[in-house]
Amino acid sequence: MTLDGDLKKEAWWAVADFHPFTTEVRGIPANQIRKSWCKATEFRKDLIPKELLFEGSADVMKAAGMSFAIEGRFDGTATLQVAVVGVFQECAGPKGRFFLILDQPAGGTPRIRFVDAVRTNRQFGALQKGQGGSIVAWECMECDGSSVLKWDRKKRKFGWVPQPEEQ
């Protein structure tokens, strides 16, 4: 990760440029997540300088209830799932942020249940458990830039919950 901006004027997540360096996420090759990807790296706290994530001894993300990975039974089944965010790079060069939900079967190989990816120069993303088994995906730490994903029983798939228009 490199910072491309002035930390006195902007938050670190707004000026962070993440550089993917792994070719798989939780054992799944990047090109199996999306064919055009050569690299994909899941965000982890140990990849970000400690002084950015902690104010004194306080973990800023934890205090906000945010994480780079959360576990749950988001589709209401007995199978445990993990939702993760990270950065990808296409083989042609463009980078962006991804949001991935994987089934975590006991003793089995993780299986992709949901992928959302957007090309962007600002790849930061974080997750939070929402109400009713939903997942809140954030593109910043102190803003209104969030989206809610929830399992739709009728459609039998994950979908973004429409947000009311701001007045």
CA atoms of 67 and 61, how far apart (whole Å): 6
pLDDT value, residue 68: 97
pLDDT for the residue numbered 143: 82
Residue 166 scores a pLDDT above 60: no
pLDDT in tens, 113-154: 999 999 999 899 999 999 999 999 999 888 887 999 999 999
pLDDT tens digits along 144-162: 879 999 999 999 999 999 9
Query: What is the pLDDT of the chain when averaged over all its residues?
Result: 92
Q: How many angstroms from the chain centroid is the CA of residue 23?
A: 17
pLDDT in tens, 44-89: 999 999 889 888 888 989 988 999 999 999 999 999 999 999 999 9
Query: What's the maximum distance between 2 C-alpha atoms anywhere in the chain?
Result: 49
Q: pLDDT-based confidence at 167, cuts 50/70/90?
A: very low
pLDDT at residue 30 in the model: 98
> At residue 101, does pLDDT exceed 80?
yes
Tokens of 98: 């991804």
- Provide CB contacts within 8 A for 128, sequence distance 6+: 64, 65, 66, 67, 70, 135, 136, 138, 146
